[in-house]
Amino acid sequence: MENGRDILSVQNLNKSYEAFKLRDVSFTLKAGTIMGFIGRNGAGKTTTLKAMVNLVHADSGSVQYFGMDLQTREAEIKQRISFAFGGVDYYLQKKLGTITGVYKRFYDQWDEKAYENYLKMFALDPNKKIKELSQGMQVKYSLALALSHYAEILILDEPTSGLDPVSRDEILTIFEDVVDGNQASILFSTHITSDLDKCADDITYIKNGAILFSEDRDSFVDSYRLVEGPLDRLTEELKSVIMGFHQRRGEFSGMINTRDLKMAPGIKCSPADLEAIMVHMERKA
Amino acid sequence: MKDLIYKEFKLAIHPTCYLFLLMGFMLLIPNYPYYVAFFYQTLGIFFIFVGGQANNDVYFTTLLPIPKRAAVKARFGIIVIIELAQIVVSIPFAVLRNSLNPAANQAGMEANAALFGLVFIMFAIFNLIFLTMFYKTAFKLGLPYVFACGAMAIFVGAAEAVIQLTPALKIALDTLDPSYLPQQLAVLIFGMVVFTLVTVLAYLRSAARFEKIDL
């Protein structure tokens, strides 16, 4: 797969529930990249991901993988992608070997040798039951399954939530190796911004069911600045462009778009990180 | 489909299904409502779905590279296999009971061909109600099972009442007399036809419902 080419394209997905709406969700994933799909709990991450594999039926919009439409070529597409909720949350009482024995029958490209290598690499014992695996090991097992049938896109819903920092780092390093070794591209959702600091090339940010941004991480981070200063230096003009405005004891703080920097002469400005951006975006005025 | 049926046997089937197959031995009881021996297996099938719920079977299966309705077809496949196995396993017990003890069953139908025909219809009712109701949500199990059991009980009660209270039917169907075998085989064949048609209809409705729901 030639790197940089769009291999997944989500266009104008809409889905209405009684209390929640997915609104015109669009983004694209490029080959050879890791995209972090970020948003707070309930923002619509899982619904979007489910709609991308037909677990949820969108009211309108389209999803294309490798230029093929999901609605008409679902089985073919699923041969070439992998989707997992967290790690492995099914058949917890069964042994890895039993599940693999069933799973592999469905994939034309299954490579037993590669699978055995991944088991060794990830120190997975096929005689263990799924429930005996730690959460991090479950994620590894799900990656071993996906990579052994040469899935070209891995879609993972919150693979790092609930992992300790060391396991999280380990999983993210595996993600980097997978992408750098040209094995697959990865789209994973998370609300842990440090995951993205570490390994994401691109970021898609969803808020209240709508995509706020989908762009490369560095320019995304660079487009915001944190501002702080005494309230008496705050102009009306500046206040109108501040996101996540906060004031206390005569001081104010918040975040502005980098293009608005000219409105903050003499105000202390500093680079924002992803966590700060997320917090300021979501903070209620 | 072969692979999906394999998956059903390897991952989904509940061990009690094998255990309940042995309930065929209840046909050895001299006086007993023999439908009960078959009814147990619907509980085994119910347990497959309870297990499926606990094990997130629906996600495991629908994320495989298969059309969504194939998951429903495979589940119907294994249920039909279990139901047929239940009937097949019971036959030797029926033969044994009738040769060991030819006295009439005081508690209902004799273990004859007509009984098996009625059991086919009972399973057809179970498949229609339990499975089509379940696939409306692919989650809620309790009510579909209660309704299915209720409908099976009404059917069995009505069938017994009609046969016991209609002399012509009682003479021809509730007997081990081989001279009435043609009438009993007619009931058996009728039951098999009903089972096939109703189960196919139940599959079509279940698959259509399952394809529509959001998981």
DSSP-derived secondary structure letter, A73:
S
Q: Are A258 and A161 members of one domain?
A: no
**A21 is in which domain, residue-wise?**
6-220
**Residue where a domain terminates, one of A220, A236, A261:** A220
pLDDT of B7 strictly over 60: yes
Q: Are A216 and A244 members of one domain?
A: no
- Where in chain B are the domains? 2-212
**Contact yes or no for B64 and A55 at CB 8 A:** no
Q: Are A45 and A152 members of one domain?
A: yes
Q: Are A271 and A202 members of one domain?
A: no
Q: Give me the average pLDDT of each 10-residue run along chain A (285 residues).
A: 82 93 95 93 92 93 95 93 84 94 95 93 94 90 91 92 88 90 89 88 94 92 93 90 93 93 88 92 78
Q: Are A158 and A33 members of one domain?
A: yes
Q: What pLDDT is attached to residue A49? A: 94
Query: Which residue is it, tokens 């994933």?
Result: A29
Q: Which helix (H) or strand (E) holds A101?
A: helix A96-103
Query: Taking CB atoms and an 8 Å cutoff, what residues of chain B touch A107?
Result: 65
Using an 8 Å Cβ cutoff, are B65 and A106 in contact?
A: yes
Search chain B and give the residue with CA nearest A84.
B63
Q: Are A135 and A256 members of one domain?
A: no
User: Please, which residues have CB within 8 angstroms of residue A90's CB and are 6 or more apart in sequence?
Assistant: A99, A130, B55, B56, B57, B59, B60
Q: Is residue A213 part of a domain?
A: yes
Q: Is residue A1 part of a domain?
A: no
- Please report the number of interchain residue pairs, chain A to chain B, with beta-carbon separation below 8 angstroms: 61
Q: B117-151: buried (b, 16+ CB within 10 Å) or exposed (e) per residue?
A: bbbbbbbbbbbbbbbbbbbeebeebeebbeebbeb
One-letter amino acid for residue A202 of the chain: D
**Contact yes or no for B68 and A50 at CB 8 A:** no
**Residue where a domain terminates, one of A169, A202, A220:** A220
Q: What pLDDT is attached to residue A283? A: 85
The encoded tokens of residue B128 equal 């229609």
DSSP-derived secondary structure letter, A88:
-
pLDDT over 70 percentage in chain B: 100
Search chain A and give the residue with CA nearest B66.
A75
The Cα A167–Cα A173 span in angstroms is: 10
Q: Are A158 and A85 members of one domain?
A: yes
Q: What pLDDT is attached to residue A264? A: 83
Query: Taking CB atoms and an 8 Å cutoff, what residues of chain B touch A83?
Result: 63
Query: Taking CB atoms and an 8 Å cutoff, what residues of chain A touch B10?
Result: 98, 101-102
How large is the angle between the packed helices A165-180 and A135-148, nearest 10 degrees?
10
What CATH number is given to the structural domain containing A179? 3.40.50.300
Q: Is residue A265 part of a domain?
A: yes
Q: Are A187 and A236 members of one domain?
A: no
One-letter amino acid for residue A159 of the chain: P
Q: What pLDDT is attached to residue A1? A: 55
Q: Are A113 and A196 members of one domain?
A: yes
B64 touches chain A (CB under 8 A): yes
B208 touches chain A (CB under 8 A): no
Query: Taking CB atoms and an 8 Å cutoff, what residues of chain A touch B56?
Result: 89-91
Q: What pLDDT is attached to residue A44? A: 92
Domain count, chain A: 2
pLDDT tens for residues A95-133? 999 999 999 999 999 999 999 999 998 999 999 999 999
Q: A227-242: buried (b, 16+ CB within 10 Å) or exposed (e) per residue?
A: bebeeeebeeebeebb
For A55, which of B6, B62, B66 is closest by C-beta distance?
B62
Concatenate the DSSP letters of all residues of chain B into one string.
Answer: -HHHHHHIIIII--HHHHHHHGGGGGGGSSS--THHHHHHHHHHHHHHHHHHHHTTHHHHHHTSSS-HHHHHHHHHHHHHHHHHHHHHHHHHHHHHHHHH--SPPTTS--SSHHHHHHHHHHHHHHIIIIIHHHTTTTS--HHHHHHHHHHHHHHHHHHHHHHHH-HHHHHHHS---GGGHHHHHHHHHHHHHHHHHHHHHHHHHHHHHHHHS--
Search chain B and give the residue with CA nearest A151.
B65
**Residue where a domain terminates, one of A220, A236, A259:** A220
B14 touches chain A (CB under 8 A): no
Q: How many CB atoms lie within 10 A of CB A41?
A: 9
Q: What pLDDT is attached to residue A263? A: 87
The encoded tokens of residue B114 equal 């007509």
Q: Are A144 and A78 members of one domain?
A: yes
Q: Are A197 and A208 members of one domain?
A: yes
**Contact yes or no for B6 and A105 at CB 8 A:** yes
Q: Is residue A99 part of a domain?
A: yes
The Cα A236–Cα A146 span in angstroms is: 54
Q: What pLDDT is attached to residue B103? A: 82
Search chain A and give the residue with CA nearest B60.
A90
DSSP strands (E only) in chain A: 6-16, 21-30, 34-38, 60-65, 68-69, 81-85, 153-157, 185-190, 202-207, 210-216, 224-230, 243-248, 251-257, 268-271
pLDDT tens for residues A165-177? 998 898 899 899 8
Q: Is residue A180 part of a domain?
A: yes
Report the residue of B3, B13, B63 to disrupt the A interface, i.e. the one with the largest count of A CBs within 10 Å.
B63
